[in-house]
Every structure is written in structure tokens, then in C-alpha cells.
Structure 1
Amino acid sequence: MFRTVAVSLSLIAVAVRLFVQPLEEPSRTDMLSFAVIGLVYVFTLVYGLMLRRGQVDRVAAAVQVMGDLIIASALVFLTGVGDSPFTFLYLLAVIVASIVLDGRGALVTAGAGALAYASLLVAVKFSWLVPPISSTTPTRGRFAFLMASNVLALFLIAVLAGYLARQLSATGGQLSARVADLKRLDVLQRQILACMPSGLITCNAAGVVTFVNRAASSILSLEPRLPASTHVEALLPGALGADVRLRRRELTVRTASGLRTLGLTVTELEGSELGTLIVFQDLTELRRIEEDLKRADRLAALGTLAAQLAHEIRNPLAAMRGSAQLLVQDPGTDPGSAKLVEILLRESDRLSKLVEDFLRFARPPPPTKLELELEVLVAETVDMLRADPIARQVRVETALAPLRVPVDADQLRQVLINILRNAFQAAGEGGGVRVTLEPSGEQALLSIWDSAGGIPASDLSRIFEPFFSTRDGGTGLGLSTAYSIVRAHGGNIRVSSSPREGTEFLIQLPLQG
């Protein structure tokens, strides 16, 4: 590239000189100048083709240096040899040799250049060659001076350029090693940041996000590429609040996949201009498991209490009902008393059923699991409830994948009835209910969705508690019993509700017993 630029400037200079003096005929020197320039272009083309074909060994370098010596000798001869201003081109050839070859190559090039220059001096002195530009024949003293000074300069430049080339090569090798180390460290850093399970976000002093790792994008359900001016508060509202110096805290954020509970650590990077580092973990599932454990403890305690209370009520209730039956059978009972006794029997039956529900909740029988087509069980239950008056004006959709799952058919049917009846009542006339069944890894996912979405967020954490009901007249035992049955099957049950997205009960059952 340097050679091309230099010869192009020379061509421009010659062309400008001819343009300034257009009336003069081009001299022989001008024609030879164009010839030399063309020769340089030819050499440059040859070098370019050799480089393009990958021929960049020592032979190619030697060819380049030899071409530079030929060009330098041609220019020196054309401009009068001893009086030529282009003798410095030999020095450039030596410097090029020290770069593309080595110190020894620079010395060899210096010797070749000295030999070429000496040969030109001898040929001109003895008139073997006549330069195009007339020049004085050097005297013996000047001949010796030109010979000694140029040869000495060439070898001194060769030694100095060789030394500098060795230093440059050593420094370049060290720099290449450092660059390679930095690249390996950069790759390692990127792999660590990409593979770490914790989310990591960095932002500058203005709060604009500068880096988001793969885990953070997954946890927050972000697009692969964020807009350049995204503020960290748009991703983690409150992360840079007044309590930013707290080492560890929790933050609830809304993402495209729902609410997420994050365990957050915020660290200010050294130097206020560098910004802030935020590391967080998704604690949503952990907090959900904790809630399940707390709910299971509460259910166990309430179940024990309900069993004891039901046992204490059951015996006197049976005695009361027996006495009432005797009164009904007594022929001497007047009609008014008989009517009161009938009311007593009816209410005692209702109370007895409530006690049975308590006992079923408190001491649910262990499930008798049999492997069956779960989609058939679900379809039969849905078809049975479609005849219920509460479901007549409700749109019902089903998408049931065939799955064989070990379950207790009676208990699971009870779970479906409790949840589906609640869904039909919530959806109401013109509403919709959708039931889906699909496999997911080692689990079967049974989803029951209604379009109402009328469960307040404050009630979602209590919806499976016994005796808690959002419907007038409800006992609050249906969903509690359903929860206990699903847990007894080794599964789990989740609920989510919002007016925009509706209410969904998600039942997870293991595919293997």
C-alpha cells in the first residue's frame, strides 16, 4: 500500500509538470520516468497477486525486496548515479527487508544494495553506461567517498533496522500473547455471565441499562435486544430506590409471564460514573413452595381439630335424630309437633352431611390409584356437569390429550366437580369455561379456566384454606378437599386470577405412580 501511494504521488507530480509546460515535447527523461512508474505498478500487481494467493513465505518477501532494489537502481541510474537524489531508496529497501525478512535479510539486502550502487558507480566512471541525465564523472576521491559513505550507511541502517525489527517482533509477540489472553478472558467472562443462573443487569450513572445476561432476560421475559435507552426502572421498578444500599432485599415485579418475586442485591461500582450492578434470583417458586408448606401445616392442624369436633358432634347428633324419629312414629303426636320434628330431622340430616364433609376433609382416605385414561374421566365429568342448570348458558371448550395416569377415579372426579362447578358459577350466562389436558415432562397438566377472573388478589393465598369461601352459602371445604386430594396423589394445584386474563386452576399430577 505504501509503495502504491508513493508511486501514485510520483505519477501525479510528473503529470503536473507536463501539464504546466504543455508546449515542450516530452523529454527522454520523462518517458523513462513513466517507464519506471509503470515498472513499479507491475511489481505491485505481482506482489498483490502473491498475497491474495496466500504466498507470503520468505521467497515472496525476497522477491519484493529484490524488486525494490531493482527500482532503486533504475531511479539512481536515470538521475545521474553519483548526483542522484534517490540513493535513499536503497535505505528504504534495507528497512523493508528488516521488516518482511529479519536482521540477516537486512544485512544481505544492504550488501546487495551496496553491490548494485558500486556497480553503477564503476560503470558510469568507466563510461560503460551513460545516464540519461548528464552528470560529471566523479574524481577518484569523490568516487571513494560516495562508495564508502553509501556502503557504510547501508550496513549501519541494516544493523539498526535489524535490531529494531527484532525488538518490534518480540514486542509484537508479547502483545499478541496478551491480546490472546484478553480474548480468552473475554470469552470466559461471557461464558460465565451467560451460564450463571442468577440474573445480572448493569446500568450507568443515569440508570440506563448497559448489560443484561441471559438469565436476567429469561427471568424477566425480555426481548433478546433491548432498546438502547432502556432505563433500569422499566425492568426493575424500585431497584434503585432509597434503600439501594441494602445488601439483600426482595422485590416483586410484573413481567410478561406474570408476577415474579426476586431476591435482589444492588452494588454501586467503584466510581460514580461507572453505575450500578444488580444481581437477582427468581424466588417465585421458592416462595410458592413455602406457602404450600404453610398451607399444609394449617390444613393439618385444622384437620385434626375438625376431626375431633366432628367426633364430638356426631354421637349426640345421632341420638337427637333417633329421638326425633321415635317422636314421628308415635301415633299420639299432634300434627304441629310432627311438623317441627320433620324440620328437626331435615336439619339434623344437613348437619350430619356437614359433619361427614368435615371428617372427609380431616381424614381423607388414601387414594386407590389405578392407571386409566385421564382424558376419558375428565370428558365424562364435563359432560355430566353440562346438564347442570348453572352450566346451560356457559360456553364449554375442551382440549384433552390422551394420557394414562395412575389416579383414584372417585377422588379425582370429586376434585373436578368442585372446581368445575365453581367455574360455571363464576362464568355465568354468556361466559366461557375451557378445560385442557396435556403432558409436560413427567407430569400431566390439567387446566380449568373460566372467563370471569373474579377472585381478588388478596384472596388467592387463602382460597385453599378450610372454611374460607368467597361465595354466599359456601362451606369453604370444597377447594380445601380438592387440594388435599391432589396433594395425596403426589401432585400440586395452582390458581391465578385477574379480570383481564380470567381464572385458571392448574392441577399437576405425576405420570408415574
Structure 2
Amino acid sequence: MELPPGLSASPHLLSQVLGTLTHAVILADLGGTVLYLNPQAERLLGCQATEAQGQALSRFFMSDDQDFLYPNLLHLASQGQAFRGELLLRNGQGQGFFAFLSLDQVPPEPGRAPLILLGLEDIDHQKKLERILGKANYGDLLTIANSIAHELRNPLTGIGGFVNRLYKSCRISMDHDQYYKYIINNLNRIELLVRKVNDLVALHDPSLAEESLGEVVEETLRARGDQIAQCQITVRTQMQELRLALDRQQIQRGLGILIDNALEFTPQGGAINIEARQEDNCCRLTFSDSGRGIAPQDLPFIFNPFFSTKADGLGIDLAVLKRIVQAHGGSVRVQSQPGQGATFLLELPLERRRAIRTTLLAGQNAGV
């Protein structure tokens, strides 16, 4: 609904209305020159309106966003397009803070050019709480897992030792050998379970560095060359040359899990195919084998910890793979039919930032 005639031309009324809003509001021209800050914007940005007026909006954007994001926002406003998103901005003192930014164009009126209307909601405290709570929950989980591992491992060692002594001192018949092996095998299985749970929980945040995915895959295959040759499995790779930010050791561990899984379930003479290609802003890595496949009823649970298609399986490894991929900002899923092998589809981001922060929008020249 439009304002009645006469009201829309009242600067005093406009100032009073904007001053009552709970969110920070900035008005600027299409070139990005600040024209107005309401009191909430003054408090959030830590500067007076009189100080900001005539200055460029760019002063409130981080240096990393000066080349692409800032000019892209000006371009969107000039085209009458809106933007909504969470951004890291900086105040008048250069300190960073998180805000939810709303950008719109105020259409022109007779005697007035179009304007940029920026709304800012301070979410810095919320973001800090999310990080604190996330770390606290993860820390609690890690502490519990470590405690369980410690509390179980020590008794298991003692039980194993006493079982050995009892067996050596009381062995009478071959039946005792069977009972002894049963006890030892199950003790070993429990110890392996404890170790794998600890491995799952203790995964650290990835330490990212730009790497060639093809080199990471080839290095992982070389490390398992003897096992692959022993199983008489043919490995084919078709890798588009892609470089992306990843933790080399973690990705190799995830690939190793897939290779080990394929070697276990693929008969001699079978094949493993690994392909990688770029799709939009992500790398799609396809890992397929010619093994026995996965039953349809098992597919929804394949990445769940402790789920296994084997009676004596532990089912932790694929959960580790999923966690590694998700920690890299990616996703993993599986496709399979019984008797037709399994195909794991991994998607990893090539660029972690949104396109608006990495590429000038159409119709712009570099340096705008």
C-alpha cells in the first residue's frame, strides 16, 4: 500500500519511521554512497550517521569481499533485484561481526533517483553460541567415547590374560580349544569395536589445503597395490584434473575405506572404477565395484554406525567415510542392486563460497 499524497515526500516522517525499526537500516545511492543510517545502524556499526554519510558502503565489507560480493550487490540493486543472506561484515572500527543482510532497491520517484535499502540483523551472538554449543556437544561426545574406550580396554586386557592362564592350566580336551577360541575371538571383536568407535568420534576438523584429487586417488591406490593384486582386481580410473580444498589424509582414509570394502565383496577377476568430474561448483567422485551389491532393504542404513550386512561385522567404516565427506562440506550416497555391485557417489565443493562471492555477475567489468 502506498503512502497518501504528501506523506511520501516528508523527510521528517521517513526519519521517524526508520528510527522506530528494531533492525539496522542503511540508505545509499546506486553507486554505494551512504545517505542515511538509522539509530540501530549507528549502534551496530559503531559510527555516527554524520560520519558515515558520503562514505562508500564498501567500508562495512570485509577485504575478501571487495572484488566480487560488494560490486555484485550494487549490480543487483541497480537491476532491481533483492538479496538475502548471512555475511561477515565489519564495523566502523574494523571489527568483524555476522549479520543477516537484506538488500532491496527503492524505486525512483519524480525528482529522486532509485536508492539501495539495506537491512541488517545482528546475528553475531547467535553464531558464537552455535559454535560454542557445537564444540561443547562434540567435546562431551569425545569425552564419553574416550572414557568408554578406557573403561572397556583395561578390563578386556585383564580378561584376556586370565583366560590364557586358565586355558593353559586347565586344558583337558579339544572342546576346551573351541571354547577358548570363541572367548578370545569375541574379546578381540569387542576391542576392535571400541577402537573403531573411538576412531569415529575422534575425527578432527579437516585441515584444508589445495590438492589435486587425481594425485590423492593415485597415492591411495598405490598404498593398496599389493592387496589389489592379491585379489586380482582390475582398477580403472578416469579423472578430470580437479584441484580442491581438502584434508589429504582424511580423503585418503575415506577412499581407503571404499577400496577395502570393494576388495572384500568383489570376487577375483572383478573391477573397481573410479571417475571424477566437475558438475557446476562441485566435484563428483564416482566409485563403483562389480561385487555382490547391497540388498534394497539395507541401503537406507548402510552409513549408520554399527549397521553391517555381515553377522560378524561392525559397520563403523562407512559411517567414518560419511563423516569425513560431510566435514568437507560434501555429501555421499550409494546406489546398488544385488549381484550388480555398488556405486558410491561423493560430492565435494570446488569452491566453498557462494558464486556471488567469487564471480562478477553478468554485465559487469572487473574492477567495477
- TM-score, with length taken from structure 2: 0.48
- Greater share of strand residues, 1 or 2? 2
- Greater share of helix residues, 1 or 2? 1
Q: Name the structure, 1 or 2, with higher relative contact order (CA <8 Å, separation 6+).
A: 2
